[in-house]
Amino acid sequence: MLAEAEVKRAAVRAARRVIAVADASKIGRVAFGHVCDLGDIDMVVTDMSADDLMVNHLIAAGVDVRRA
């Protein structure tokens, strides 16, 4: 899925704001294809069961985290 990661990288480069949507099982995991650095993400939307330690890491990095 490297081609998919390249498309996502292009979208990040073109975006004024980057919002990642991921369920709790994806927070803190490393993916096969690198899309962007943490500093490129403005907001993460996840569910209430996201690990508090990982959420705090995102917040400390300047990412706005929304749990729903």
Residue ranges of the chain with pLDDT lower than 70?
1
Do residues 67 and 41 lie in contact, with contact meaning Cβ atoms separated by under 8 Å?
Answer: no
pLDDT of residue 32: 80
> Cα separation of 9 and 27, whole Å?
19
pLDDT of residue 65: 98
pLDDT of residue 1: 66
Among all chains, which residue has been given the structure tokens 């300047």?
62
Residues in Cβ contact with 34 at an 8 Å cutoff, skipping those fewer than 6 apart: 5
pLDDT of residue 33: 81
pLDDT of residue 67: 97
Q: Amino acid letter at 36?
A: C
pLDDT of residue 50: 96
